[in-house]
């Protein structure tokens, strides 16, 4: 049975905080990797935390170990642009998506 997980990453040791996400090293490889996981319905929602250089993903998986395994080969983790901070299982009780008026 699959669950929803929240994945929180921080800026890695090679993140250039003076640059935006699309200006980071390995952006094209990272974007291709993420797009493939979206196409597989693994990633449901995600984006950068621009003030600190990290990111948040919301994913569907069978276990925390599966989440770690699927994200392990992200070029941004491999090259220190992002550092995985935490993976937490999340039961969604409230969902107002899309937001009113959007």
Q: What is the pTM of this model?
A: 0.91
Whether residue 71 is contained in a domain is answered as yes
Counting DSSP H helices and E strands in the chain, the numbers are 3, 4
Whether residue 99 is contained in a domain is answered as no
Whether residue 11 is contained in a domain is answered as yes
95 pLDDT band, cuts 50/70/90, is confident
pLDDT mean across residues, the chain: 95
Rounded to 5 degrees, what are φ and ψ at 53? 85, 10
pLDDT, tens digit, 9 for 90 and up, residues 33-83? 999 999 999 999 999 999 999 999 999 999 999 999 999 999 999 999 999
* Domain, as residue range, for 21: 3-90
Whether residue 10 is contained in a domain is answered as yes
Considering Cα of 15, then 79, then 76, then 70, what sign does the dihedral take? Answer: negative
The H or E element that residue 65 is part of is helix 64-71
Please state the domain count of the chain: 1
Contacts of 98 (CB under 8 A, 6+ apart): none
What is the spatial distance between Cα 15 and Cα 21, in angstroms, rounded to a whole number? Answer: 9
């Amino acid at each position: 049975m699959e669950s929803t997980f929240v994945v929180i990453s921080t800026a890695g040791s090679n993140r250039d905080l003076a640059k935006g996400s699309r200006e980071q090293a390995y952006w094209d490889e990272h974007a291709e990797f993420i797009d493939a996981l979206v196409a597989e319905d693994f990633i449901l929602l995600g984006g950068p935390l621009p003030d600190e250089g990290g990111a948040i993903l919301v994913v569907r998986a069978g276990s925390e170990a599966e989440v770690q395994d699927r994200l392990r080969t992200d070029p941004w983790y491999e090259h220190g642009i992002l550092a995985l901070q935490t993976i937490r299982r999340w039961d969604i009780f409230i969902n107002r998506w899309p937001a009113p008026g959007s």
